[in-house]
Amino acid sequence: GEFFELTVAIEQDSFQWRAQDKPFNSPLTPLPSVCVEGYTTEVNQQALAWIDSLYQTMKDGLVLLVDYGMARSEYHHEQRTEGTLRCYYQHKASDNPFENIGQQDITTSVNFSDVAEQALDSGFTIAGYCTQAMFLISLGIDQYLLDEKDLERHSILAQQVKQLVLPSAMGESFKVLALTKKQPVKLDGFKEQNLVNKL
């Protein structure tokens, strides 16, 4: 099938999605070759351009990208027919960006495979990729908790750590991607898990 870019139009005094007439085609963004009719996904070419400009701007160094997202195989999974666009208004989620206009947060997940490929094309080296939970565990977040002797402070920290590492919270949905330029380093954050081969 072919993909068509959706743009925003005003019809009968309200915002609506409108498909462009010409099929969307970009060599920068691999799209699934087989999908069901009506399949929707997001393309973030600005993020790819940002990665390239970041490489051009840096003399050398390390970039740690931490965000919610996934590798391409999961991002374009056949069961994810409506993409990853989410809206948040007063702590409630929806998939309608045309309500609560100007008052809600609108976001999508990161396709870390696209980011990694652009990083390599720009000249970066991929130093690691894993879940936020495994990154923090590799860095010893559990020891950080054990070192806290004040019981009240320990209880507060334990709740914060759970939010960061539990799969039902941020632990699995957030990923960490490390990029280096002229800095060959082995990062401790990836000693327990490195999923670069999944990108």
Residues 129-165: pLDDT tens digits? 999 999 999 999 988 888 888 889 889 999 999 999 9
The domains found in the chain, sorted by start residue, are 44-198 (3.40.50.12710)
Q: Is 128 left (phi over 0), alpha (psi -120 to 50) or beta?
A: left
CA dihedral 120, 29, 56, 121 (to 10 degrees): 20
DSSP structural state of residue 99:
S
Q: What is the pLDDT of residue 25?
A: 84
Residues with pLDDT less than 50, the chain:
none
Q: Which residues pair with 110 in a beta bridge?
A: 69
Q: What is the DSSP letter of 28?
A: T
- Return the structure tokens found at 88: 């948040």
- Sheet of 86-89: strand order equals 92-94, 86-89, 105-107
Query: What is the pTM (predicted TM-score) of this model?
Result: 0.90
pLDDT for res 176:
98
